[in-house]
Amino acid sequence: MTNSKKEFLRGGRAITPILIGIMPFSVVFGYAMKNAGLTGIQSSFFALSLLAGASQLAAVQLYAAHTPAFIIIVTALVINLRYAMYSLSLQPILKQRSFVKRLFAAFIMSDQSYAFTMSEGENNPGNRFLPSFFLGASLVLYCSWQAGIFLGYNLGTIIPERLSLDFAIPLVFMSLLIPHLKGRDRQISALAGAVAAVILVPRFPLQSGLLISIFIGIGSGMAYRTFQETWMRDNR
């Protein structure tokens, strides 16, 4: 077996333990698409054409609430901006690959496969086959993600509405939120976003309250950070 094949398999194996964590997320996403009234073909189209779970789940929720297209698009893009940072740090790893391969790498990149690849790069700095490792990890995640969506969509056809399974959607976002609460500045940012959303979401037209609340949260975190830095400098 060539080294690149070996690394491909190693990457795939490395990511399997967290599939247990991804599965409920994808099942809830599949269920949400069914609940939003999307047909099987429409759901498959959205599931297969993009791998960016949090933004997709949010987009489907907004779509179900009859939100205007441009607000759905902007909200999804804001949530996905973090991937731009990932693509920046993947640059040196993939710099010798063709444009098409790099674009494919961007397509199948996920939070998890990115994180595993970066830590593999840290642990084995001499690993020349990191792109194969990344590809293996990403493909395993992509395939199991699709399987979970398929399962969730079909569950949606048999689960009665009075079980309020829509409540699983905020629970998914909640689990995703926890790791981002490190640091007082980020807690402030989350708190401001949350308070703004509770006030604005029911009051603003066309679901624009969510987007405005996200900006308020970001602004509050930045303001707190700036205040903190200035204060610390003045008190040294």
> CA separation (Å) from 108 to 45, 79, 88, 100?
15, 17, 15, 12
Task: Single out the residue of 7, 8, 25, 113 in contact with other proteins (rule: CB under 8 A).
Answer: 25
Give the nearest distance from C-beta 219 to other proteins in angstroms: 8
3-state secondary structure of 110: coil
Contact map string, positions 170 to 209, toward other proteins, x by CB under 8 A: xxxxxxxxxxxx---xxx-xxxxxxxxxx--xx-------
Task: Single out the residue of 167, 205, 234, 235 in contact with other proteins (rule: CB under 8 A).
Answer: 167
The stretch near other proteins (CB under 8 A) out of 4-12, 116-124, 140-148, 157-165 is 157-165
Give the nearest distance from C-beta 206 to other proteins in angstroms: 13
Of 80 and 154, nearer to other proteins (C-beta) is 80
Torsion, CA 183, CA 89, CA 175, CA 147, rounded to 10: 180
Region 30-89 residues binding other proteins, contact defined as CB under 8 A: 38, 42, 45-46, 49-50, 52, 54-56, 58-59, 61, 63, 69, 72-73, 76-88
Give the nearest distance from C-beta 108 to other proteins in angstroms: 9
Alpha helices in the chain (DSSP H): 3-15, 19-35, 40-49, 53-64, 69-80, 82-94, 99-108, 111-123, 130-156, 168-177, 184-200, 208-234
Quickly list DSSP for 67-104. Answer: --HHHHHHHHHHHHTHHHHHHHHHHHHHTTS-HHHHHH
Region 93-152 residues binding other proteins, contact defined as CB under 8 A: 94, 99, 102-103, 105-107, 109
Give the nearest distance from C-beta 196 to other proteins in angstroms: 7
Task: Single out the residue of 14, 90, 135, 137 in contact with other proteins (rule: CB under 8 A).
Answer: 90
Quickly list DSSP for 52-72. Answer: -HHHHHHHHHHHHTT--HHHH
